[in-house]
Amino acid sequence: MNPFSSGTRLRDMIRAIRACKTAAEERAVVRKECAAIRAAINENDQDYRHRNLAKLMFIHMLGYPTHFGQMECLKLIASPGFPEKRIGYLGLMLLLDERQEVLMLVTNSLKQDLNHTNQYIVGLALCALGNICSAEMARDLAPEVERLLQFRDPNIRKKAALCSIRIIKKVPDLAENFINPATALLREKHHGVLITGVQLCTDLCKISTEALEHIRKKCTDGLVRTLKDLANSPYSPEYDIAGITDPFLHIRLLKLLRVLGEGDADASDTMNDILAQVATKTESNKVAGNAILYECVQTIMSIEDNGGLRVLAINILGRFLSNRDNNIRYVALNMLMKAVSADAQAVQRHRATILECVKDSDASIRKRALELVYVLVNETNVKPLAKELIDYLEVSDLDFRGDLTAKICSIVAKFSPEKIWYIDQMLKVLTEAGNFVKDEVWYALIVVISNASELHGYTVRALYRAFQVSAEQESLVRVTVWCIGEYGDMLVNNVGMLDIEDPITVTESDAVDVVEIAIKRHASDLTTKAMALVALLKLSSRFPSCSERIREIIVQFKGSFVLELQQRAIEFNSIIAKHQNIRSTLVERMPVLDEATFIGRRAGSLPGAASTPTIPSVSLPNGVAKPVAPLVDLLDLNSDDAPAPSSSGGGDLLQDLLGVDLPPASQQSGAGQASKTGNDVLLDLLSIGSPSAPSSSSAVDILSSNSSNKVPVSPLDDLSSLSLSTGTTSNAAPMMDLLDGLAPSPPTENNGPVYPSITAFESSSLRLTFNFSKQPGNPQTTVIEATFINLSSNTYTDFVFQAAVPKFLQLHLDPASSNTLPTAGNGSITQNLKITNSQHGKKSLVMRIRIAYKINGKDTLEEGQVNNFPRDL
C-alpha cells in the first residue's frame, strides 16, 4: 500500500491548510492535526505512522514545532520495508539535527543499513549520514563508509564520497584513511562518482597538507586529462547543458586544479594548456559556459603566474564587465575583487566602468562595485574617486547611503593628501549624509580639526555655512557646535582667512544662534544637546556681550528632565553667575588632541594608562573620561546653590567615579571615543590642565582643596591624583585604576584564610591600614579593621571617614573610635567596616574613600581608591 497515494488524509490536510485565509486559521488546522498525530503516536499506531510523518514534515516546513515526531522517525527507520525506511530517513534529515541526543539512538540502525543487502537501503543510510553525521557517529561509522567507497554500484560510491567529506570535516584526524580510496575515485568514468570524488579530494587537500602533496603529485596529470576529455567530449544528452557536457563537473575540476596549482609552479605548469583551452574555447553566450569561464578565470588568477594566461583572464573579465546581462556583470565584479591581489593594474583599467556600477539601479551590483572601488583607491586616484562617490551620495538610495558613507569616510581618512582636503570632503559628507556618519568618524574629524591650527578659522566658517543649509544632519550639528564653542571668536573676527574663502560676516549673536538652534531642536539627542551646552559655556566667555543671553538659554535647561543636562545647566549657570574670575581659564580652548593616541585607541591597542605620558595634558582627554566625576563633585562642593546630587552620599560618588551605574545614554565627549561615560564637561575641565596655561593653577586650587599635600608634576596630574591613593598605586596607573577599578586587583599574597594587612591609603599626612578577618561560615562577609595614623605634626579634629562601594558590595560602617586624630606616635583612630560581597569569588573588593578633617580649624579633604584588597575577599 502506498502511504502517499492512498493516504487521502495527507491531501486533506494540505487542502485544509491551503484553504486557510488567515494565519490564525492555519494555526488552528495545524494544532488539530498535531493533536491527532500525537494521539496516534501514543497509541503506537503502525498503519499510519509514515503518513503521520509525512504530515509532520509538511507542518515542519510551515514552521511549526514537530519535535514530538522525532521518535517516530527512528521507529520507521528500524522497520524492515523500504518505503517506511525511506520516509523515516527523510524525516530524520528534516526534523532532527546533529545536536539532539536522539541521534545517538540512530547510530545502530545506520550501521545495520550501511551493511544491508539492498543497495537502495545502503544509499538511504549513506545519504542520511552525509547530511546529519556528528563527530561521534563519524568515528563509529567511518570504516563502513570507507569500505563503501569501493562498492560495486557507482550510485553507492558517489554517496559514500560525499559522506566521507562530512566525516573528515567532523573528524579531521580521519582524513588520511580516505586519501587512497579518494584518489581512486578520480579515475572513474561515472560522472556522479567523478564529481563527488573531485569534491572529496578538494576537501582533503584543504584539511591535510599530506593529502594535498599526495594528490598534487599523483593526480594532477590525470585531472588535466579528465578535464581535457570532458571539454572535448562529444554530445551526451544526459549531461548536456546548452551544448556543454556537465558544466558542474567542469567547475569542480577547475576548483580542484586551483587548489593544486596554488603555490606550486610545476603543477601550475601542467595545467596551463588546458586552462588556456577552456578559457578560449568555451561558449560564452549561455549561463553554463559563462559559469565555466568564471571558474576558469578564478583558477588562472590563483595559480602560479603565467603572463599569457593572465592576459586571457583579464580580457574575459573585461568582456563580462561590459556584458548587458546583470548576472554576468555581478560575477565580473566578484572576480575583479579576487583579481586585485593578483594584478591590481589590470583591474585599475576598468575603474571607470566599475564606478558606473556603483551607481547601478541594482543593489547587489552597487554593493559589489562599492567594495571593489574601496580596494582600488590609492593616493594617486583618491581625489577623483572620492569626488565621484560624494557627488553620487546626494542622489543615492537611502538604504545604500549608510554603506556608501562609511566607505567614503574610510577612503578619505586613509588616503587624504592634505588636511584641508580631508576637512572639505568630510564637511561635504556631513552635509549630505551626516545622519549616517558613525560616531568614531566625527570624533576623528574633530581630532584632525584640532590639530590643524592654521585651518581653525577656515573650518569653523565652513561649518557655519554648512549648518545654514543642513541643520538636520546630526553629526554635522555636533561638529559645528563643537567648533563654534572652541573657535567661535575666529568665526566672528574672520581670523585666518584663506585666499579661497569668500568673506563672511557673522556677528557674535549669529554664532550663538547656531548653538541655540542646535540645543533647542527637538530632534537633537542628548549628546548634541550636551555638546551645545558646553559650547554655550565657552561662548559666554568668548563673547561677553552675549553672556547674559547665553545664561538665559542655559537656565532653561535647569528644568530639563534629563539629569545630565539639568546638572550641567545648574553648574554652568553658577560658573557664569558666580565665578567670573575663573571662567575664562576654565573654558579655555581645548589643548590639541593627540592624533597618535586617538588612532591607537581606535585600534584598541593602547590601554588608557599607556597614553603617551610625555604629554599628559594631551593624552588625558583622549584617555580618560572618568576623572570628570570627582571634578564635578568638587565643583558641587564649592558652588552653594547646586543640589549636588553626588555629594549626598559616598555611594553616588563611587558610582560617578567608576561609572557603575551610568545610563547608557550618557553622552560622549567631543573627543571622547574613550567611553560612553565620558561627558563633555571633561573637555572643558581638562583644558584647565594644559601646561601652557600657567594661570590655571588657581582653578586647580579651587577644584582640589587638598592639593597642598601633593607634589604635582603638572596641574593635570594633580587633578587626576585627587582620585587616587598616591601611596599605594604607582604613578603611571591613575587611569588604569579608575577604569579598571572593578577588575580583579593586582595579585596580592593570599595565605589561606588569613589575609595580610594592607596599606589602603597613604599621603604625606595620613596613613590608613586595613586588617581583615572573616566570620566562620560566612565567606562573603569580611570584617575590616581600619586604622588611621597621623603622619604630620598637627592634630586632626572633626575627623570623618567615608567609604563607598559598587553595587555588588554591601558596606556597613561602625562608629569610629574617636573623631580626633593625635599626631604621629600619640595614638590612632580605628573603625570597623563590614563588607558583604555578593559576587564572592568572581569579583574582588574595591572601595572609594574620602577622609575629611580639620587642621587648626581649616578643612582638609583627602580622597582615594582602594583596590589592592587581597583577592577572594
Q: How far is the CB of 227 from another protein (least distance, A)?
A: 15
Q: How far is the CB of 156 from another protein (least distance, A)?
A: 11
Give the residue, chosen from 19, 35, 39, 61, that forms a contact with another protein under the rule CB under 8 A: 61
Give the residue, chosen from 39, 62, 665, 713, that forms a contact with another protein under the rule CB under 8 A: 62
How would you list the strands of the sheet with 809-813, edge to edge? 758-762, 766-774, 781-790, 829-837, 809-813
| Burial of 634 per CB tally in 10 Å (0-12, 13-18, 19+) | buried
Site for another protein in 83-142 (CB under 8 A): 83, 86-87, 90, 93-94, 97-99, 120, 123, 127, 130-131
C-alpha cell, 419? 588636511
Mask: binding to another protein, 25-54, rule CB under 8 A, as x and -? -----------------------------x
Number of residues interacting with another protein: please give it, by CB under 8 A: 75
Q: Supply the angle between the helices 287-302 and 307-321 in degrees, to the nearest 10.
A: 140
Residues 131/170, Cβ–Cβ less than 8 Å = no
What are residue 607's phi and psi, to 5 degrees? Answer: -70, 155
Site for another protein in 6-25 (CB under 8 A): 11, 14, 18
| Burial of 225 per CB tally in 10 Å (0-12, 13-18, 19+) | exposed
Q: How far is the CB of 450 from another protein (least distance, A)?
A: 38
Closest CA to 296 of 323, 321, 273: 273
Our finding on whether 68 is near another protein (CB under 8 A) is no
Our finding on whether 162 is near another protein (CB under 8 A) is yes
Q: Which is nearer to another protein, 275 or 291 (CB)?
A: 291
Q: Supply the angle between the helices 419-433 and 474-493 in degrees, to the nearest 10.
A: 130
**Stretch near another protein under the rule CB under 8 A, chosen from 237-245, 575-583, 747-755, 805-813:** 237-245
Q: How far is the CB of 78 from another protein (least distance, A)?
A: 19
Mask: binding to another protein, 184-223, rule CB under 8 A, as x and -? -------xx--xx--x---x--xx----------------
Strand (E) positions, 765-807?
Answer: 766-774, 781-790, 796-804
Give the residue, chosen from 69, 211, 260, 330, that forms a contact with another protein under the rule CB under 8 A: 330
Our finding on whether 262 is near another protein (CB under 8 A) is no
Our finding on whether 400 is near another protein (CB under 8 A) is no
**Stretch near another protein under the rule CB under 8 A, chosen from 4-12, 454-462, 501-509, 558-566:** 4-12
User: What's at 446, amino acid-wise?
Assistant: I
Residues 628/657, Cβ–Cβ less than 8 Å = no
Return the residue matching grid coordinates 569626488: 387
Q: How far is the CB of 864 from another protein (least distance, A)?
A: 43
Distance, CA of 688 to CA of 714 (rounded, Å):
11
| Burial of 503 per CB tally in 10 Å (0-12, 13-18, 19+) | exposed
Q: Which is nearer to another protein, 99 or 858 (CB)?
A: 99
Enumerate the H helices of 452-610 as residue ranges.
456-469, 474-493, 508-520, 526-542, 547-556, 563-578, 580-586, 595-602
Site for another protein in 415-454 (CB under 8 A): none
Q: How far is the CB of 57 from another protein (least distance, A)?
A: 7
How would you list the strands of the sheet with 858-866, edge to edge? 796-804, 847-855, 858-866
Angle CA 44–48–52, to nearest 5: 95
Give the residue, chosen from 49, 159, 583, 676, that forms a contact with another protein under the rule CB under 8 A: 159
Q: Which is nearer to another protein, 200 or 784 (CB)?
A: 200
Our finding on whether 522 is near another protein (CB under 8 A) is no
At 749 the three-state DSSP class reads: coil
Q: Which is nearer to another protein, 174 or 733 (CB)?
A: 174
Distance, CA of 734 to CA of 609 (rounded, Å):
7
Q: How far is the CB of 127 from another protein (least distance, A)?
A: 5
Tell me, rounded to whole angstroms, the distance of Cα 719 from its chain centroid: 33
Site for another protein in 775-804 (CB under 8 A): none
At 767 the three-state DSSP class reads: strand
**Stretch near another protein under the rule CB under 8 A, chosen from 247-255, 654-662, 707-715, 811-819:** 247-255
CB atoms within 10 A of CB 413: 16
C-alpha cell, 107? 547510530
Enumerate the H helices of 115-153 as residue ranges.
119-132, 135-148
Our finding on whether 241 is near another protein (CB under 8 A) is yes
Please state, in angstroms and as integers, the Cα–Cα distance from residue 401 to each residue in 288, 358, 367, 375, 407, following that order: 35, 12, 11, 18, 10
C-alpha cell, 775? 566570620
What are residue 776's phi and psi, to 5 degrees? Answer: -60, 140
Mask: binding to another protein, 287-316, rule CB under 8 A, as x and -? xx-xx--xx---------------------
**Stretch near another protein under the rule CB under 8 A, chosen from 156-164, 376-384, 526-534, 865-873:** 156-164
User: What's at 716, amino acid-wise?
Assistant: L
Q: Which is nearer to another protein, 313 or 514 (CB)?
A: 313
Q: How far is the CB of 436 from another protein (least distance, A)?
A: 19
Mask: binding to another protein, 474-513, rule CB under 8 A, as x and -? ----------------------------------------
Q: How far is the CB of 196 from another protein (least distance, A)?
A: 6
Q: Which is nearer to another protein, 285 or 692 (CB)?
A: 285
Residues 463/479, Cβ–Cβ less than 8 Å = yes
Q: Which is nearer to another protein, 81 or 384 (CB)?
A: 81
Q: How far is the CB of 298 from another protein (least distance, A)?
A: 8
What are residue 801's phi and psi, to 5 degrees? Answer: -110, 130
Our finding on whether 229 is near another protein (CB under 8 A) is no
Our finding on whether 331 is near another protein (CB under 8 A) is yes
Query: Which DSSP string do the residues of 648-688 spell out, in sequence order?
Result: S-HHHHHHHHHTTT--TT----TT--S-TT--THHHHHHHT
Q: How far is the CB of 641 from another protein (least distance, A)?
A: 54
Q: How far is the CB of 848 from another protein (least distance, A)?
A: 41
Q: Supply the angle between the helices 102-114 and 70-78 in degrees, to the nearest 10.
A: 20
Give the residue, chosen from 33, 113, 246, 508, that forms a contact with another protein under the rule CB under 8 A: 246
Q: How far is the CB of 85 from another protein (least distance, A)?
A: 11
Q: How far is the CB of 40 from another protein (least distance, A)?
A: 18
Site for another protein in 576-605 (CB under 8 A): none
Mask: binding to another protein, 350-369, rule CB under 8 A, as x and -? -----------xxxxx-x--
Give the residue, chosen from 22, 24, 63, 505, that forms a contact with another protein under the rule CB under 8 A: 63
**Stretch near another protein under the rule CB under 8 A, chosen from 321-329, 467-475, 614-622, 784-792:** 321-329
Angle CA 338–340–341, to nearest 5: 85
Return the residue matching grid coordinates 586571457: 312
Our finding on whether 253 is near another protein (CB under 8 A) is no
Our finding on whether 151 is near another protein (CB under 8 A) is no
Please state, in angstroms and as integers, the Cα–Cα distance from residue 543 to each residue in 179, 528, 584, 686, following that order: 81, 21, 11, 21
Q: Which is nearer to another protein, 58 or 421 (CB)?
A: 58
Give the residue, chosen from 334, 638, 792, 802, that forms a contact with another protein under the rule CB under 8 A: 334
Our finding on whether 149 is near another protein (CB under 8 A) is no
